[in-house]
Amino acid sequence: MFEKFSIRNKLIISIIIGCLIPYLIGCLYVKNKTEEWLYNNYIENTNLSLRQTATHVDEAILKNMSNLVSMIAMDERVINVDFTVNSYIDYNASTFKFNTSKSEKEIMDYFRTIKDSHSIINMISFGTEQGSYVEYPAFKPEGSYDPRTREWYINAINKKDTVISEPYITKMSKDMVISFSRSVILKGKKIGVISLTIKLDDLMKDINGIKYGESGYINILSSNNVFINSPLNKAWILHSVEDLKLNVLSSIDNYNGKSFEGKINASDKVFNVYFSPYSGWKYVSVIDKSEVLKQSKVLTSLLIVIYLIMFLVMLVVISLISNHITRPIFKITQAINKMATFNFDMYKNRNFEIYTNYNDEIGEISRSLNTMQENFVELKSKIEVMDKEIQNINIEESSLYQLELSEDSPFVGIASSINGLLQKVHNSIEQIRFYNSEISHKNELLEASKEELIVQLEEIDSQNEYIRFIAEHDSLTNLPNRRKFYEKLSDVLANNRAGAVILLDLDNFKSINDTLGHLFGDKVLQYISGKLEEISNFKIFVSRFGGDEFLLLYEGENDVNEIIKFIKQLLVLSNKRFLIDQNEVEIEFSIGISLFPRDSMNIDQLIMNADLALYSIKNSGKNNFAFFNNEMLKHLKFKLDTKNILRKAIENNGFKMVYQPQVDIKSGEIIGYEALVRLKDHKEISPGEFIAVSEEDGTIVTIGRIVTKMVIEQMHKWQQMGFGLKPIAINFSAMQILDYSYKSYLLDLLKSNSISTGLIVIEITETTFLENKEVAIEFLKELRSYGIKIAIDDFGTGYSSLSYLTFLPIDTIKLDRTLSIKFLELENIAVMDSLIALAHSLNMKVIAEGIEEYEQVRRLIVGKCDAIQGYYFSRPLEVEEVERNYGMIYKI
C-alpha cells in the first residue's frame, strides 16, 4: 500500500530525524554529565570524610597524648626524681635486688593514675640521664637495660617538643606501638626522657570501623611511606611502599587532597589522599571503582528505560499524526489513479466525501476532483455518442458521409476536423479505385511477361548447364577434363577412401599424327575415349588429361590384384587393331599407377607419381604398366641432382676426356681411340647415366660441343708434341642432329687446330635415324663429304636392321658388347661371321666392343673382324697414359 518513499514514510523519517535523534543525543549528554557529577561527588565526600577522620585522630589522640606527655614531663615527682630509682644497667637476675624507693613509688603511682584514666595508653616509661629506669606497668627485665640507648630516648633528649615515633614493635610485649617522647628539664638541664606508648590496634580500632560503601577502607602511611594502618593487608604494616613494590602508591605525594585511580590485585580502585598537617601521616582511602560507579549505573538504566518509553510514545504520536495527514492524500491518489485509467465511476467512498468538507488544502483538492470527475463522466457519455456515429460511417459507399453534431457539443471542432478527414479519405478511395483498375490491367501484362521470363530462365539454366559441362569436359572427347578429375579425386580423398590414379599414355600417337594427320589423330583419341568409357563403371572415372594422356580414377579399391585385373583389361584394348576411316591402326599404350592412400593423399603428388611410373614404362619398352614405387622418386631426385651437376660442369669446365684404344686384330697396333667423357668431380655418376639425363633436357647439345672441342684441342696438343695422330671417335647423340650448326663448328675447330678431317670419326646410334631419318642421312653425308668418318655404335641393340647398312653412309660398324657376347656363343657364330662378311662387302670396317676374354679375341680373328675395343687390351686411358703408351703394339 505505502510505497517505500511515500509521504507518510518520509514524514515519519523526518520526525524521527528531527525529534528523536536530538532527544537521544540530549539523553546521552545528561547521562554522561550525571555520571561525572555522581563520581566527583562521591570522591569529594570520601575526601571530606578522610579529612575529618585525620583531624579526629590528630585532635582526639595525637595532640592529646602529646599534651599528656608534656604534662608528665613537667610534673614535680618526675622532675625531682633522685638516685634511689632502680637502674638496670648492670642487671643480673640472680644478684639483682629491687628496691622500692620513695621517689620511684611516687612516680609509679603517678603513672598508674594516668594510665587508669587513659585506656588507650599501653605503657609509660621514664629513663634518666644516669641510666635509671621506671616503667608502668611494672618493668620485668630479661637482661641489662639502658634507656639511654633506646630510640625513643635518643630521638627526644635533644628536642624541646614531643616526638612522635614511627610505629615499631616493643621489645617486651611485642606489640605494635607508637611512642610519644619528651625530654624532662630541671633548671634548664636535661635530666631524662618521658615516653608514653599506645598500641596501634587500639588507635586504629575506630578508624577501621569507618567504611566507604561496602569495600572502602582507610590505609595510613607515615611521612616516610611506611604503613601504619592497613586493614585488608595486615602484613603491610611497618613496611614501606617501596619495600612492598606497590607502584600504584609510589607517586602518592602528588595527590594530597586529590584522588586517582589504579589497580590493586588486578582490581580497579579509586584512591583518595589526605596528609595530616599535624602528624605528617598520609590517609589513603581505597574503594572499588565499580562501587563508585554503582550509583551512576543505576541512574543510566533508569535513563534508558525513560528514553525507551518516551521513544515508543513519540512513535505512536508520530504515526497518528502522519496517518492523519497522509491518509486523505493516499485516498485522493487512488482516485486520481483510477481517473488516469479512464475509470470515472470511482468513488461512492464515504471517507472521500468527508474530505470534501475539510477547510484545508485537502478539502480544496477533493472538491476540484469531484467537479473533474463529473465533467469526465459527461465527456465520456458524449464521446460514446460520437463513437457510435463514427462506427456507422461507411467509407466504402461512393457517396460522401459527414458527421452532424449540435452547435453546443464540445466536439464540434473535432467533428469538423473528422469531416475534413472523411472528405480526404473519400477522395483517396476514389483515387485508389481508379489505380486499382489500372493495376489489375498492368498485372495482366506482368503475368504475360512472367511466363516469358520463365521460358528465358529455363533457357539460361540449360545454357548454364552446358557451360558447366564445357568447363568440366574435354571438347574433343566429351570426357570429363582434368579439372573435373581433380574435383572428383579430392572428394574421394576427403572421404578417406582407397583407390588408384591411373595415367594412360598412347605409345605411338605421335607417329599416327605424323603419318595419318592430326584430324585422324583426333578420331583415334575419340575412338579410344569411347572404348575407355565402355569399360568404365561406377568405380571407374575416366577423364582426358591432355594430348594423348588419359587419367582414370579407380575408386574404393585397395586390392592391388583387383587393380592389375582392371589394367590387364585395358591392355587387351592395346593389342587390338582398330579400323578407323578405313585405316587399320594398332594402338598401344603405357600405364602408370599410383595408389592412395598408400603412395600419397595429395592430388598433385598422386598424379606426379603415376607420371613417374608411366615414365619408367616408357623407358623400358612401353606397352605395359607399372606401379609407382619410391625408387622412381629416388630416380627422379637423382635426375634432378644430375641436371644440376651438369649445369655446373658446363659452366665450370667440369668435364674431362678419356681415350680407349682400338686395336688391330692382326698386328696388335692401335688403329685409333674412342673419346669418352667423364665428370671430373663426380666419378660416381657414369657417362651412361648423365648422358641419358642430358639427352632428356637437351644439354647434350652443349656437352657435345664441349667434348668435340676438348678432343680436337687434345689432338692439336699431341700433334704439337710430335705424336703421329690416330683417328679419334667422338660419340654423337641422336638429339645433336638438332644442333644445325654443329657441322660448321666442327670444321672450324679442325681448321683452327690444323687437324685433318680424316682423323675424326663420328659415332652415331641407330636411334639417330628413328625420328628424322632423312635429315640424319643428309647430315652424315655432308660430314662424310669433308672426309669425316662415320661409325654406327652399339650395333645389334635396338632396331638393328641389316637393310640399314645398305643405304646408310657408314664407314665402321661397332658391334655392341651384348651382341659380341651373344654371337660369340657357338650356336650363333655363323650369324656373326656372315654379319662381318656383309659389312666387308659393303666396304665397312667392323670393330667389336666390350671384348674382355682371349677366347673372344681368338674367335673374332677367325671371323675376320677388323679391330677390337675392350678391356682385354685396355680400359679407357687418361691423357698421360695415352701419351705413355703411344705407338705401343698389343700382343695378340
Residue among 48, 52, 42, 114 at smallest CA distance from 78: 114
Q: Which position among 707, 746, 791, 819 is part of the footprint of ligand C2E (CB under 6 A)?
A: 707
Give the residue with the Cβ less far from Mg ion, 731 or 736: 731
Q: Does 766 bind Mg ion (CB under 5 A)?
A: no
Q: Does 683 bind ligand C2E (CB under 6 A)?
A: no
Ordered alpha helix ranges (H), 536-621: 560-574, 603-619
Sole window of 216-224, 272-280, 541-549, 730-738 interacting with ligand C2E (rule: CB under 6 A):
730-738
DSSP for 25-92 reads: HHHHHHHHHHHHHHHHHHHHHHHHHHHHHHHHIIIIIIIHHHHHHHHHHT-HHHHT--TTS-BBTT--
Residue 599 binds which entry of ligand C2E, Mg ion, none, CB below 5-8 Å type-dependent: none
Residue 870 binds which entry of Mg ion, ligand C2E, none, CB below 5-8 Å type-dependent: ligand C2E
- Rounded Cα distance between 621 and 858, Å, is 35
Residue 687: cis peptide before it, omega within 30 degrees of 0: no
Cell of 226: 611506611
Would you state the torsion angle of the CA atoms of residues 626, 627, 628, 629, taken in this order, to the nearest 10 degrees? -100
Contact predicate 605/579, CB 8 Å: no
Residue 627: CB minimum distance to Mg ion, A: 33
Residue among 578, 518, 572, 584 at smallest CA distance from 548: 518
Residue 790: CB minimum distance to Mg ion, A: 12
Q: Does 676 bind ligand C2E (CB under 6 A)?
A: yes
Q: Which position among 128, 285, 326, 731 is part of the footprint of ligand C2E (CB under 6 A)?
A: 731
Q: Does 288 bind Mg ion (CB under 5 A)?
A: no
- Rounded Cα distance between 55 and 61, Å, is 10
Q: Which position among 162, 272, 660, 768 is part of the footprint of ligand C2E (CB under 6 A)?
A: 660
Sole window of 34-42, 146-154, 188-196, 864-872 interacting with ligand C2E (rule: CB under 6 A):
864-872
Sole window of 92-100, 143-151, 430-438, 729-737 interacting with Mg ion (rule: CB under 5 A):
729-737
Give the residue with the Cβ less far from Mg ion, 197 or 662: 662
Residue 809: cis peptide before it, omega within 30 degrees of 0: no
Give the residue with the Cβ less far from ligand C2E, 132 or 736: 736
SS3 23: helix
Q: Does 866 bind Mg ion (CB under 5 A)?
A: no
Q: Does 691 bind ligand C2E (CB under 6 A)?
A: yes
Q: Does 677 bind ligand C2E (CB under 6 A)?
A: yes
- Residues in the interface with ligand C2E (CB under 6 A) total 24
Show Cβ contacts of residue 182 under 8 Å, excluding neighbours closer than 6 positions. 69, 70, 72, 73, 156, 159, 161, 162, 163, 193, 194
Sole window of 86-94, 109-117, 607-615, 727-735 interacting with ligand C2E (rule: CB under 6 A):
727-735
- Rounded Cα distance between 8 and 2, Å, is 8
Residue 874: CB minimum distance to ligand C2E, A: 8
Give the residue with the Cβ less far from ligand C2E, 606 or 846: 846
Contact predicate 403/378, CB 8 Å: no
Residue 505 binds which entry of Mg ion, ligand C2E, none, CB below 5-8 Å type-dependent: none
Q: Does 763 bind Mg ion (CB under 5 A)?
A: yes
User: What Rg value do the Cα atoms of the chain yield, rounded?
Assistant: 77
Residue 474 binds which entry of ligand C2E, Mg ion, none, CB below 5-8 Å type-dependent: none
Give the residue with the Cβ less far from ligand C2E, 57 or 808: 808
Q: Does 793 bind Mg ion (CB under 5 A)?
A: yes
Q: Which position among 47, 155, 181, 731 is part of the footprint of Mg ion (CB under 5 A)?
A: 731
Residue type, 338: K
Please give the backbone phi and psi of residue 261, each rounded to the nearest 5 degrees, phi first. -115, 150
Q: Which position among 167, 480, 521, 850 is part of the footprint of ligand C2E (CB under 6 A)?
A: 850
Can you list the positions of beta strands (E) in 425-471?
Answer: none
Show Cβ contacts of residue 65 under 8 Å, excluding neighbours closer than 6 positions. 120, 121, 162, 180, 196, 198
Please give the backbone phi and psi of residue 449, each rounded to the nearest 5 degrees, phi first. -70, -25
Can you list the positions of beta strands (E) in 129-215?
Answer: 133-136, 163-164, 168-169, 176-186, 189-199
Q: Does 599 bind Mg ion (CB under 5 A)?
A: no
Residue 196 binds which entry of ligand C2E, Mg ion, none, CB below 5-8 Å type-dependent: none
Q: Does 870 bind ligand C2E (CB under 6 A)?
A: yes
Binding to ligand C2E in span 742-781, by CB under 6 A = 763
Q: Which position among 143, 209, 621, 688 is part of the footprint of ligand C2E (CB under 6 A)?
A: 688
Residue type, 703: I
Binding to ligand C2E in span 119-148, by CB under 6 A = none
Cell of 375: 465533467
Give one word for 342, left, alpha or beta, with left for phi > 0 and alpha for psi -120 to 50: left
Q: Which position among 793, 823, 845, 847 is part of the footprint of ligand C2E (CB under 6 A)?
A: 793
Mask of contacts with Mg ion, 824-863, x by CB under 5 A? -------------------------x--------------
Residue 140 burial (C-beta neighbours within 10 Å; 0-12, 13-18, 19+): exposed
Q: Does 818 bind ligand C2E (CB under 6 A)?
A: no
Give the residue with the Cβ less far from ligand C2E, 688 or 724: 688
Give the residue with the Cβ less far from Mg ion, 504 or 677: 677
Mask of contacts with Mg ion, 104-133, x by CB under 5 A? ------------------------------
Q: Does 672 bind ligand C2E (CB under 6 A)?
A: no
Q: In the complex, which residues of this chain contact Mg ion (CB under 5 A)?
A: 731, 763, 793-794, 849
Q: Which residues bind ligand C2E (CB under 6 A)?
A: 660, 676-677, 686-688, 691, 704, 707, 731-733, 763, 793-794, 817, 849-852, 869-871, 876
